[in-house]
Amino acid sequence: MKMSELEKSLESSERGAYVSRMFDRIAPRYDLMNRLMSLGQDQRWRRRMATLAALPPAGWALDLATGTGDVAAALLQRDPSAHVVGADFAVEMMRVGQQKGQNGPITFMAADGLALPFADQSFDAVLHAFLMRNIADIRAGFREQWRVLKPGGTVVCLEIVGPAAGWTRTLYHLFFERIVPQLGKVVSGDRMAYSYLPQSVLRFPDPERLSRLMADEGFIDVRYERLMLGSIAIHSARKAE
């Protein structure tokens, strides 16, 4: 697929199916690529997400775009009494997660982030890593997350955003646009999947705009922190009680 065709896929109504197939293809090497791309920092980010979620004892958490279940595992490592549901529409990713033997029971299930199969006010926390840049309608995605959160519940969102400016931004573009696709080709055999990554980030709102989108959909106390030279942002917010 040429880049022009890839860009077309990102804008089309088939985006969800395209992304699902892509993640299913790279599932066996997904965790390894995450470690390499993040220079071994991605698990630390997930532990930070679990802290920000602030689950009550025996609370219920939804890990959206769970992939191989690393965020769900971080939640259970922090509180083994938690009830954690990992939801994704990339089934092969979740199969890899089921085989990993995580620290505690994770309920994996197929789900679309724009039409969650859960009742209103089902969860104390909703977390997701690298979901929103892959979703067709960011506002609708946050609206669904707000719907399934209990009053007072927390949403935690981890995304690649790219540094704001300066030499770090130059280094970021070199790494993600030149090195990552080649690395993806060698490690996963799928250069195109890792060419999609920088393209999806280019279209994604910056942290301030993403904060406003979350507030527009009803979240309060919206805040974010940048990590890894500013290229990663973790947003957190609450649903009013």
The mean pLDDT of 34-58, rounded to a whole number, is 93
More confident residue, 24 or 57: 57
pLDDT exceeds 70 at position 80: yes
What tens digit of pLDDT does each residue of 204-233 get?
899 999 999 999 999 999 999 999 888 899
pLDDT at 187: 78
Q: How many CA atoms lie within 13 A of 143 on its CB side?
A: 8
The mean pLDDT of 149-157, rounded to a whole number, is 98
The mean pLDDT of 81-105, rounded to a whole number, is 87
Q: Which two tokens stand for residue 183?
A: 């690395």
pLDDT at 9: 43
Burial category of 134 from C-beta neighbours within 10 Å (exposed 0-12, middle 13-18, buried 19 and up) = buried
Q: Which residue has the tokens 């301030």?
A: 208
pLDDT at 239: 98
Q: Where are the domains of the chain?
A: 3-161+204-239
Look at the pTM and tell me if it is higher than 0.75.
Answer: yes
For residue 178, give the 3-state DSSP assignment.
helix
pLDDT exceeds 50 at position 2: no
Length of the chain: 241
Query: 74: closest CA among 118, 121, 151, 129?
Result: 129
pLDDT exceeds 90 at position 59: yes
pLDDT at 114: 93
> Between the CA of residue 176 and those of 184, 192, 217, what are the distances in Å?
11, 13, 31
User: For the chain, what is the radius of gyration of the CA atoms?
Assistant: 17
Phi, psi angles (nearest 5°) of residue 43: -70, -35
Structure confidence at residue 14 as a pLDDT band (50, 70, 90): low
- Give me the amino acid identity at 92: E
pLDDT at 189: 78
Ordered alpha helix ranges (H), 38-121: 42-53, 70-78, 91-98
pLDDT at 109: 95
Q: How many CA atoms lie within 13 A of 27 on its CB side?
A: 24
Q: Which two tokens stand for residue 166?
A: 């300066």
Domain 3-161+204-239: assigned CATH number: 3.40.50.150
Q: Which segment of 36-40, 57-61, 124-128 scores lowest on mean pLDDT?
A: 36-40
pLDDT exceeds 90 at position 165: no
The mean pLDDT of 42-71, rounded to a whole number, is 96
